[in-house]
Structure 1
Amino acid sequence: MFRGREGERELLNGVLDAGTGVVLVDGAAGTGKTRLLAEVAALAAHRGFEVATAQDELDQPFLLARLAERRPQSPTLVVLDDLHLAEPGTLAALRALLPASTHEKVVWLLARRCGEGADRLFAAAAVRGAVRVELRPLADNAITELVADLAGGIPDQDLRALASTAQGNPAALNSLFKALSEDGQVEIRGEHASLRGDRSPRQTESLLRERVSSLSGKARHLLQVASVLGPRFEPGDVAEMLASSTAILLPALDEVISAGVVTSLEDRLAFRHELLWRLVADSVPPPVRRALHREAGEMLLGRGDSAVTAAQHLLHGAQRGDVRSIDGLVAAAIAVLWNAPDAAAELAVRALELTDQASASLVHRTVIAVRALIAAGKLTAAQALAQDALSRQVSPEPAAKLRHCVATTTLLGAQHAESVEITEVLLEEPDLLPELVPWVEITRMMALLGHDRRRAEELAEAVVRTHTGSPDDVLATALAVLAAIARDTGQPGAALELAREAAQSVTSHDLCAYPQLLLATILSGLREFSDADSVVRRARSGPSAVVTKELMVAVVQARILLQAGRIEEAAVEARSALSVAEETGHSALVAPALAVLAMVAIHTGDLPAAIEHVERYRGRVPVDGIIFSRAYYQWADVLVAYVGHGLDKALGLLTDEYPGLVTSGLFAEEPRAAGWFVRRALEAKDERLAKAVVDRVERLSEENPGFRGVAAAALHARGLLDSDASLLELASQQHRDLWARANAAEDLGVLLTASTDRSASVKALENALGLYREIGASRDSARVLGRLRKLGRRRRAAPVRPASGWSSLDDTERAIANLVAKGQTNRQISTQLFMSPHTVNFHLRKIFRKLGISSRVELVMRSRDDQ
């Protein structure tokens, strides 16, 4: 296809219609002059014209001689290309021939490379009315069409950006795509073309390198300095680094823009493609590049620009003992400590590596590096660095900061006793920095919560009594500690009130959102899922991105998803949290993730996994008690023991190891546990245990009348104990989570099997089966199917969705697909659907597999087709 010259061809067609005239074609090299002349010659021949053309510039004089000797007998098209190469005599003869032929049926089609010769001929012809055709760079739409022709598919944005380096020149585009083809760089998926990133583009790089090499020396030097500043750069920054001015650099800037190497954006200039930027950057020798980075960083620091931007250069260019550059790295690390902890850790550690061991700033920079490593979740490295520094002579103030850092890492590593010991010794020091005191107190309270509940409660109550006035973080922590203790001792009303107050008292993001996340766990336990999701969403979107907070959010979100019946998503969140917690040394967050996975495994019938998860967290003494209550872990242990080893083993645990479980706060944190315990007690004919459970959950319901989840649990437990079908039916309607509702429906169905009319029993069991299937509780579904078979009702296995296509997507997958089709990112989707970005990514992978696609672009196209 001959793309983008429709206007020129229409004009030339008009000249052929007239049968006489002179057309002057101007164009830069590669703009398609020869192709246009060939197209017009073919068209003229088809229309009956005699076409006379010279083979090259040497043949031009002979052609003119032949034309001068004879009078054309039919309409004739004379085509002369590359007249910028013609000899002066040829041009003179042509100037003489043109006026003499105006009365004949002759169309002259004359072409040259613009600005390179034949100026007098073209000027004279223009004066006599010749038609001018200037071949400009192809328009954007024509470029897209031509790129699609060359690539074999609709180009994506990255491929179009690379094509833009050709500046709309068809020949340059052809050369580029020939090189890409030789490199095997173009990948076709369906109707779409994109660049591959897994192969070395040697031919393409060679072509682009030639383009850069053809520039003047000043232009190349400008590009090399600009490449150090990044893919996008301010021309003023380049001028400053070259000790020049933008005005002086203007010719070189024009040259690199005209060559298609650089383009102009609204606020700055940019390399047209990353390949070009990388090629230019790689052309700068490493020692020179480091020096340029250092100069760029110091330039930015010197005029007060962002320390973070400056640090990006100093990270590459700073040298040992370079105080100004190292201070820039430290300033940048502090600036991004909370919202980009990984970057902060890299900057701070690099600054420390460049610091002389004799420097007075060594200890201060060590403190910053340790704090940044903790924020980035690199607890082992942080602790080792702090203890190494403390093994040397360190003044009291930085020593206290480093010891507090060690207390923090031991707390997060579930070494609660060690953390308590370090913080209490620190608080006894008379000269402890005033700004450090609150954080040491906070760490001590949190460590005591995992180590000594009585002392934690006493200390928290003392803080609440003495901290009056405006909210502060010590008060928020104390309130959260009291809320956790109230939750665990069966005071859900007090726990919820304290947790709300704690969440409102937080003033700093340094607390890693613990008070907010504790509030979310209490709300979710009470089955107030909407409120819990809102709290988690606020915590997730807060200003802090430290790894500890991200892990805590993931763990809490996993249990909320599990309690809400979204088992598969809960497993994804919990596995992700467990992997990161183990990798980073966050031992305090391993047990919560394992507990969620144990519950998931029970629901899905994976008994070996459930047993493994429980055995792993049982070995962690004491088990959590900070994120989830210890009762939650104990119940999971009893539940797994029952499924794996039978009733005697489960009740033995209840008697020997967890005698206080029934009287704890479990039934407010997990209302569905009440029915489970009554069911097991009746199975064992242990009426005392059954009555104890019913008494406990009914008392919780009476003392907390506003909690509907606990009220439903009380109805469920009493209905089981009294064999009251009406109470069980009411519980199946009022339970706030699907699993508990299904349990109540199943219990109702089992109770009604003794009646003469078994249809009501079947109905209740089928209701339970539908609920179990909805949440993916395959083990429970299998049990109910067995009950239905005994009643003579054969139910097929769960309706199987198609393996592929849109109909194979479930509701969550369809919702995500629709939001992707609207252009939303994973993070935006996660906010709307109350799930983490990696949960969204998990669903996207399933969607891609079911639809047989591999990219978001294909999903958008398939979605539009479906609509």
Structure 2
Amino acid sequence: MPMMLFGREPQVRLLQSAADEAAAGRGSATLVEGESGIGKSALLDTVAAYCDRLGMRVLRAAGEQLEQDLPFAVAGACLDVLTTGGEPGRARVAALLRGEGADRQPGAAGHDFVVTEAMLDLVDEWCADGPVAVIVDDVQWADPQSIVVLHRLCRGIGQYPLLVVISAAPEPRGEAMGALVRSMVAKGAQRMTLSPLAQQAAAELVEAAVGAPAGPQLARLVAAVGGHPLYLAELVAGLVRDGALRISGGRAETDLDTPPAASLQAMIMSRLGPLPAPTKAVLHKAAALGGPVDLPLLAAVLDLPVLELADACAAATGAGLLVETEAGLQFRHDLIRQGLAVQTPSPVRDALHLRAAQVLMDRGADVEQIAEHLAQADHAEHGQWLMDVAPQLTVRAPALAVTLLRAAAADAADEATATSLHIALIRALLWAGQTDEAEQILHDQLAAYQSSAVRTQLLELRMDGYFRQGRLQQAAAAGEDAARLAPVHPGRLFGFAAVCRLLLGEFGEGDRLAGEALRSGLASGDAVAQAYGHNTLAVLRFAQNRVQEALDLNADAMRALDHTDGGLIVDPLVVRAMCLFAQDHPAELDQVLDAAMRRNHDTGGFYLTTAQLLRANVLFLRGRWDDALAEIRTSLDSPDPLCQAPALHGLAAMVAMHRGQTRTLDAELATLATSTPLETRFTAPLRWAHSLAAETDSGPGTALDILYPLWEQPPTFSPRCIGYRLCADLARFAHAAGDTARLQVLVDTTAELLTGQPIASLEGTVAFCRGLRHDDPSQLLAAAASFARAEWPLYEGYAREYAAVVLAGDGRLKPARDELASAVALYTGLDAARDIDRARARARQAGIRQGVRGPRGRPKHGWAALSDTEYKVAMAVAEGRSNPDIAAQMFLSPRTVQSHVSSILAKLGLRSRVEIAVGAATAEHREAMAGRRAPDGEPAR
């Protein structure tokens, strides 16, 4: 057993057991905590070796203090993405880390999301091939982006053959690291704290090191060290080195009364004593440079032959200061590097880093590697190189770019250089999300420079910055100001401003600016301006319920977009999906939504959450509520620049209300729900859910008052051409409250809408409103037939429920019972317990006797409880397919598939994907599937 593992047998067994479980298909995560030198790295080495013996793919990395500002440094090293080995997934991640495609993204957050998703997909693919172990040491030094990757890996880890073991120093911790620890613990991760060794374990360690048990005096020295493994090892090594240890009478003894050094670091540094002065000098300079010891780089920096350095490193290795690892030559412990580095004077450290940066420039090294060294110097250098690489460095290491550009701009030799550096700094700050500082510098620069070319650049940057902060009024004004300076492409700026006005609901201004963009684009042949103009006008026509005109303009926008290089704040695919949604074109809608989601997912686009929200709404209407909830869970993890989370929460709350899972909304969501619709974007679903809660708590009149404003004055992004989805509930509330006036308005307004939008779901809505207004069963049954054609089962259930009540009132009890049974069956398929209870209560009041019990509720557990989508996912999992593979086949995102797998495991009472495969072969599964299949072999539901 390695010396550092004495007394750690329980921890070793726990981690080996976790590895065995992961190899069997049930993953887990463990956080190992402890002070420096307590044995964390040795424990991770042991578990890595054990995983390797089990045949697991072992992914290993460690955090480096000097790489904290380098995005995905730890995650990239762990996945070894630079060694692609022909793997497309690795090659894609490597390309993303080089910044490829980042020019199409709105900022670092979008790019980070794309890289994170690509890394998760890669691990997912590996897990489909066999068990994987992710082992990361010194996570306290990890960059925030890598911490997010680790956080996402640990989510739902139990369903994968995946072991995650990370080690970290104890508090204090940064915000990202603290959040990771809290998340891991909340999700069931094992938390393992390494304390100093017990007295017996410390004695065994010393005995193993010297070959004999300790005598009384040595035992007292050992006790004084306090059970710290590294300190104990160094104590013994120092005593041996100094000739202060003897073996007598079968015991190891010493004459020293106190440890030869007062601290662990001093004890470690004592290893330097016997080394020649030139070797010590090399070690000091290598430590000052940080990270692994790169012999060729160190030789170039010190202007020494590599062979001479190799001899010095060999001597240091013999003294136990350096070690050979898979990653190359490294200091044996970071305490050694730190102790040597602090002894190097600051001016010397600066000179070393600047020289290293120059050597790396001459080599053509990665810009972020060069920037790491430049950032360690106390003064700015290489300003021209920095200006040349600023766009690339901003994408690959925005925090480093900000640090270097800020220093270089402050020390610029002339005004022109200072201006260029300030513009690059503003871009880097905006990319990194540091908008306050960017805005201040912009303000200062605009006041200082009157050149139209410079002012145009600055105004475009200010426009971009305001947009990223959601300050759309200011963004639109900045865009118009920049356009009026007659730049090369004024149409693009007018188009940008038009989008901002549109998002603000200022349709008149948006229309005017979109027209300006289109005229300019057509005159100059600028496809970007044309795409802005056509797409914005398409959204405006959609908001005016002129859906066909919107589709025609959208087609023009898509043609123009084919001739652009991306990077726009428009997405014609999403607009097309909205139009198809309004026209009841389900097949084409699904294809367009899938394309929109994939493009936004792969490019970090603005409209990923928009597309996901639209798909969740479609799934809700089609009665695929479990699928809608899976989409919502995925969407809440996506970037949300347009702040659409309230709509997602509201849609989930609506499902919960119908299923009787809650009577009231969360207080914070309820506050959002009752905000003025015209002042608060994307809260209509929350308000809708709030009205459903009010129907039970306060009565239909209150529910009507809450919901009706959304129809009376439709929100910007829910015009009546799609907002008519509200009308079935509005009509129910108005009918129950006896509000014939508003019920008649619903009849008239939906009928008017139908003349320009003759689709089945709207036909059903008009007939339903008329049927309730006049208590006409024929209209209600016509509504049911239309909703059935549209495949909107909830609303078909409404129509049949109310038809049953009216028929019973006319004394037609047999058809009333039939319609009630059909309504309850539809609600049962949705698991809509609230609607079942309401329908049965109203039927009893109307004198309808069902005679026999209606259909049983949908099972909550077992194979029969799975939705059709969940069943298909389960079968794909049973075939051993990865989430990305399943996602591509089923037109879902990998994260949505993961959400479905979590739901499947919960319903089946299983713990892993392996158990799903085993369960698919059981008699219970075959029996459940026989019940859910229709005679033609299609799903019965």
Specify the TM-score bucket, using the shorter chain as the normaliser. Answer: 0.5 to 0.7
Report deviation, 1:303.
4.6
Letter of the 2:58 counterpart: D
Tell me, yes or no, if structure 1 residue 495 matches structure 2 residue 543: no
Letter of the 2:513 counterpart: L
Letter of the 1:735 counterpart: A
Change over 3 Å in CA distance of 1:444–1:497 after alignment to 2: closer
- What is aligned with 2:785? 730
- What is aligned with 1:458? 512
Distance (whole Å) between structure 1 residues aligned to residue 537 and residue 481 of structure 2: 24
What number of residue pairs does the alignment pair up?
671
- Counterparts of 1:583-622 in structure 2, within 5 Å, are 586=641, 589=644, 592-593=647-648, 596=651, 599-600=654-655, 602-605=657-660, 606-609=662-665, 613=669, 615-616=671-672, 619=675, 622=678
- What is aligned with 1:481? 536
Higher relative contact order, chain-length normalized (CA < 8 Å, sep 6+): 2
Distance (whole Å) between structure 1 residues aligned to residue 693 and residue 594 of structure 2: 31
Distance (whole Å) between structure 2 residues aligned to residue 832 and residue 227 of structure 1: 52
- Counterparts of 1:227-376 in structure 2, within 5 Å, are 270-271=326-327, 285=341, 298-304=358-364, 306-307=366-367, 310-311=370-371, 320-323=380-383, 326-327=386-387, 330-334=390-394, 336=395, 344-359=397-412, 360=415, 361-375=417-431
Distance (whole Å) between structure 1 residues aligned to residue 480 and residue 441 of structure 2: 22
Tell me, yes or no, if structure 1 residue 710 matches structure 2 residue 762: yes
**Secondary structure at 1:523 match in 2:** helix
- What is aligned with 1:535? 592
Distance (whole Å) between structure 2 residues aligned to residue 504 and residue 371 of structure 1: 30
Report deviation, 1:230.
8.0
Report deviation, 1:746.
3.2
Letter of the 1:798 counterpart: G
**Secondary structure at 2:567 match in 1:** helix
Distance (whole Å) between structure 2 residues aligned to residue 588 and residue 663 of structure 1: 14
Distance (whole Å) between structure 1 residues aligned to residue 629 and residue 231 of structure 2: 45
Distance (whole Å) between structure 1 residues aligned to residue 909 and residue 330 of structure 2: 30
Tell me the TM-score normalized by structure 1: 0.60
Contact map agreement 1:159 1:195 (CA 8 A) in 2:
no
Letter of the 2:532 counterpart: T
Which residue of the other structure, out of 786, 795, 815, is the alignment partner of 1:740? 795
Report deviation, 1:832.
4.6
Distance (whole Å) between structure 1 residues aligned to residue 685 and residue 608 of structure 2: 22
Report deviation, 1:786.
3.4
Structure 1 runs not aligned, ≥5 long = 1-145, 163-179, 181-187, 264-269, 337-342
Tell me, yes or no, if structure 1 residue 523 matches structure 2 residue 569: no
Distance (whole Å) between structure 1 residues aligned to residue 696 and residue 865 of structure 2: 33
Report deviation, 1:325.
6.1
Change over 3 Å in CA distance of 1:329–1:318 after alignment to 2: farther
Cα deviation code 1:312-347 (max 9, x no counterpart): 66566795344256447623235x3xxxxxx55324
Letter of the 1:442 counterpart: F
Letter of the 1:523 counterpart: L
Tell me the TM-score normalized by structure 2: 0.56
> Greater CA radius of gyration, 1 or 2?
1
Distance (whole Å) between structure 2 residues aligned to residue 745 and residue 379 of structure 1: 55
Cα deviation code 1:404-463 (max 9, x no counterpart): 4444454555544444444334434x3x54357623541244225524212322332454
**Secondary structure at 1:158 match in 2:** strand
- Counterparts of 1:192-207 in structure 2, within 5 Å, are 195=165, 197=167
Contact map agreement 2:405 2:422 (CA 8 A) in 1:
yes
Contact map agreement 2:534 2:556 (CA 8 A) in 1:
yes
Contact map agreement 1:489 1:664 (CA 8 A) in 2:
no
Contact map agreement 1:261 1:271 (CA 8 A) in 2:
no
Contact map agreement 2:291 2:330 (CA 8 A) in 1:
no
Which residue of the other structure, out of 58, 61, 79, is the alignment partner of 1:158? 58
Cα deviation code 1:85-105 (max 9, x no counterpart): xxxxxxxxxxxxxxxxxxxxx
- What is aligned with 1:801? 860
Change over 3 Å in CA distance of 1:157–1:400 after alignment to 2: same
- What is aligned with 2:210? none
Which residue of the other structure, out of 413, 421, 424, is the alignment partner of 2:480? 424
Distance (whole Å) between structure 1 residues aligned to residue 402 and residue 442 of structure 2: 12
Which residue of the other structure, out of 535, 560, 568, is the alignment partner of 1:511? 568
Change over 3 Å in CA distance of 1:680–1:851 after alignment to 2: closer
**Secondary structure at 1:355 match in 2:** helix
Structure 2 runs not aligned, ≥5 long = 1-45, 63-136, 138-156, 169-191, 195-227, 238-270, 922-941
Distance (whole Å) between structure 2 residues aligned to residue 747 and residue 412 of structure 1: 48
**Secondary structure at 2:599 match in 1:** coil
Letter of the 1:355 counterpart: A
Distance (whole Å) between structure 1 residues aligned to residue 421 and residue 658 of structure 2: 50
Report deviation, 1:732.
3.8
Contact map agreement 1:572 1:842 (CA 8 A) in 2:
yes
Change over 3 Å in CA distance of 1:417–1:494 after alignment to 2: same
Report deviation, 1:749.
3.8
- What is aligned with 1:80? none
Change over 3 Å in CA distance of 1:241–1:844 after alignment to 2: farther
Distance (whole Å) between structure 1 residues aligned to residue 407 and residue 55 of structure 2: 46
- Counterparts of 1:46-85 in structure 2, within 5 Å, are none
- What is aligned with 1:170? none
Contact map agreement 2:531 2:558 (CA 8 A) in 1:
yes
Change over 3 Å in CA distance of 1:577–1:814 after alignment to 2: closer
- What is aligned with 1:668? 721
**Secondary structure at 2:665 match in 1:** helix
Tell me, yes or no, if structure 1 residue 648 matches structure 2 residue 712: no
Cα deviation code 1:807-841 (max 9, x no counterpart): 77655455555556666665555555455555445
- What is aligned with 1:439? 493
Cα deviation code 1:341-395 (max 9, x no counterpart): xx55324322334335242545444444444554555655654554466576686
Change over 3 Å in CA distance of 1:148–1:240 after alignment to 2: closer
Distance (whole Å) between structure 2 residues aligned to residue 821 and residue 250 of structure 1: 54
Change over 3 Å in CA distance of 1:331–1:405 after alignment to 2: closer
**Secondary structure at 1:801 match in 2:** coil
Contact map agreement 1:551 1:577 (CA 8 A) in 2:
yes
Identity %: 22
Report deviation, 1:859.
2.9
Letter of the 2:407 counterpart: L
Distance (whole Å) between structure 2 residues aligned to residue 362 and residue 757 of structure 1: 86
Change over 3 Å in CA distance of 1:427–1:710 after alignment to 2: same
